[in-house]
Amino acid sequence: MKAMNRQKLISVSTVLAVASLVATAIPAHAAHVGVSRSQIKLGMTLPMTGAASLGYNKIPGAAKAYFDYLNANGGVNGRKITLIVKDDRYVPTEAVARTNELILKDKVMALLAPLGTANVKAVASSVNPARRGVPVLFINTGFSGFADIKKYPTTYTILPSYVMEAKIMGEYIKENFAGKKIGLLYQDDDFGIDALAGFKTAGVNFAVTVGYASGSQSAAAAAGWITKFKAAKADVVILFAVSSATSAMLGTAAVLKYAPQWMLGSVGGDATTIKLTGVPAGVLYNAIGFSSVPATTDLNDEYIKLFSDLYAKAVPGSPFDLNVLLGMNSAFMTAQALKAAGANPKRKSLMAAIDSKGATFASSALVPTGYSKTSHVGLTGYWVGKYSPTGDLAPIGGTYVTYTTDSGTGAVVKSTYKRPAMPAKGLPN
């Protein structure tokens, strides 16, 4: 009996050791990595579990909902899209390990929509998709540094940068709140530093700025911030913060009956996520907000109609929110890029397709993208809206007025961009 136990023990240890070292038999450089006659493999890592997964863990389900629809309608040139999703728990070490698995073991053609500045940076540095020629499509971070095409030649951003957002906010303030006292709450790290740079370029003079360290936000901290804004008699208070800080601030302000004109950054202004923190969406009422895509409740919009229908069928009972819309939109743009990459897409031709035709891809967004041979910048602007009592952002005056700009010193302009009609059935043509 004892001998058997020991034997078992030895065999378990051996299996564990061998499991980590078994070499995969597939050749390292297949002709078209990730593309076979019948399928195209794409990979995604993002937080599926852990504290940071809230909201973001809906993105894979959203992307898969679109790809399933696409596959049911013939895929891309007969090839079905397989999306392999791995959990990185929002930890860079995990993101690197999982991305290595995706590229070296699963042999995906491209990475899709990875999330988080620190994670994308660690993957760029260690896995080095640029050196391997692996496309990193439509990353979910607004850090402006990823637009550096020399440093990240295979990376394509999708969200407008925090600098762009701050510049557009600045322009809106100039047009509508000239002479008013402006206050700013910002996160005291790169997220906030990008924002401060944008406000500086826009020439906004603040009566008061309050920085907070990431993780320090709470109702008690918010009460302290409010004292500062009150003391400075701020008429307009900008919350350029994450959802938890935004909801702490709005929730505490409602209790203290402090009601300046709120202006919310797009990162923290998602009503669904704010509701998840336990604060009623009503606190958002009348705040000014910014978005690149249509309101998720706007069922008159053809994309919202199609995407919300597909999502409801694929993931019944899960609310259709901003994360879902962005996930489906990225999947939709990926499908067009694959289609544009030719009958036999390769990594290189995929990137070349986005460089040459990406700016003309159909998308639910109401602002243009900036893709070209010299730029991998995605969406370039926002429309301005006000929140309804139920926390839905709707355009001021009923029509979408959009602004576009860049992450540098370029001017903020009212955009004349007309979104192209959705291709038939929302499939790439």
Partner 1 sequence: MHKSKNSKHIGLFIFFGFLLFLLGNQVDELRVYQGASVAVYVIAISSLILLTGYSGQVSLGHGALMAVGAYSAAVARNELHMPIVLTFFVAVITTAIAGALLGSAAARLSGPYLAGTTLALAIGLPSLANQFEVLGGEQGISFDVGYPPQRLGDDFTQYKWFFWIAALTALISMWLLSNILRSRYGRNWRAGRSNEVAAQLSGINTARSKILAFTLSAGIAGLAGALLSMTIGTVSPSAFPLALSFSLLAGAVLSGVSTLSGVMIGAVTLVAIPEIADVVAHRIGSSENVTTNLPGLIVSVLLILTVLFVPNGPVEQHHARAAKRAVNKKS
CB of 32 to partner 1, least distance (A): 19
Q: Please identify, using beta-carbon distances, which residue of 30 and 231 lies nearer to partner 1.
A: 30
Q: Please identify, using beta-carbon distances, which residue of 34 and 92 lies nearer to partner 1.
A: 92
Structure tokens at 101: 């698995």
Q: Please identify, using beta-carbon distances, which residue of 121 and 357 lies nearer to partner 1.
A: 121
Q: Please identify, using beta-carbon distances, which residue of 193 and 422 lies nearer to partner 1.
A: 193
- With beta carbons less than 8 A apart as the criterion, state whether 168 and 289 touch: no
The residues, ordered by sequence, that sit 6+ positions from 128 with a Cβ below 8 Å of its Cβ are none
CB of 104 to partner 1, least distance (A): 4
- With beta carbons less than 8 A apart as the criterion, state whether 350 and 371 touch: no
Q: Write down the residue that tokens 């035709």 correspond to.
A: 357
C-alpha distance from residue 168 to each of 74, 158, 243 (Å): 41, 17, 20
- With beta carbons less than 8 A apart as the criterion, state whether 268 and 243 touch: yes
DSSP E strands, 92-200 = 110-112, 136-139, 155-157, 182-187
Q: Please identify, using beta-carbon distances, which residue of 106 and 171 lies nearer to partner 1.
A: 106
CB of 314 to partner 1, least distance (A): 12
What burial letters (b/e) apply to 270-280, b meaning 16+ CB within 10 Å? bbbbbbeeebb
CB of 42 to partner 1, least distance (A): 16
Count of other CB atoms within 10 angstroms of residue 388? 17
For binding to partner 1 (CB under 8 A), which residues are involved?
Answer: 2, 5-6, 9, 13, 16-17, 19-24, 28, 48-50, 60-61, 85-87, 89-93, 96-98, 100-101, 104-105, 116-119, 121-122, 124-126, 128, 143, 188-191, 193, 213-215
Q: Please identify, using beta-carbon distances, which residue of 2 and 373 lies nearer to partner 1.
A: 2
Q: Please identify, using beta-carbon distances, which residue of 6 and 174 lies nearer to partner 1.
A: 6
CB of 406 to partner 1, least distance (A): 21
**Which residues share a beta bridge with 39?**
80
Q: Please identify, using beta-carbon distances, which residue of 150 and 418 lies nearer to partner 1.
A: 150
CB of 29 to partner 1, least distance (A): 11
CB of 181 to partner 1, least distance (A): 28
Q: Please identify, using beta-carbon distances, which residue of 315 and 401 lies nearer to partner 1.
A: 315
Q: Is 224 helix (H, G, I), strand (E, B) or coil?
A: helix
The residues, ordered by sequence, that sit 6+ positions from 357 with a Cβ below 8 Å of its Cβ are 340
CB of 214 to partner 1, least distance (A): 6
Task: Report the DSSP pairing between strands 381-387 and 288-291.
Answer: antiparallel
- What residue type is 94 in one-letter code? E
- Tell me the C-alpha distance between 289 and 274, whole Å: 14
Q: Please identify, using beta-carbon distances, which residue of 203 and 215 lies nearer to partner 1.
A: 215
Q: Write down the residue that tokens 């004109």 correspond to.
A: 261
- With beta carbons less than 8 A apart as the criterion, state whether 168 and 145 touch: no
Dihedral of CA 208/213/218/221: which sign?
negative
CB of 44 to partner 1, least distance (A): 12
CB of 144 to partner 1, least distance (A): 11
- Tell me the C-alpha distance between 11 and 405, whole Å: 62
